Amino acid sequence: MNYPRPMTKQMYDDRDAYVVFISNLTGLPVDEILGRSRIECVCIARHLLAYALVHLCGYSSLAAGNLMRRNYATVLHSCYLIRDKNIIPFDGIQRMVDAITNFHNKRMEGVVV
- Supply the pLDDT for residue 91: 87
Record the pTM: 0.92
Mind listing the pLDDT tens digit for each residue in 41-57?
A: 999 999 999 999 999 99
Residue positions counted in the chain: 113
Q: Are 61 and 79 in contact (CB under 8 A)?
A: yes
Fold of 9-102: Chromosomal Replication Initiator Protein Dnaa; Chain: A; (1.10.1750)
Res. 4 pLDDT band, cuts 50 70 90: low
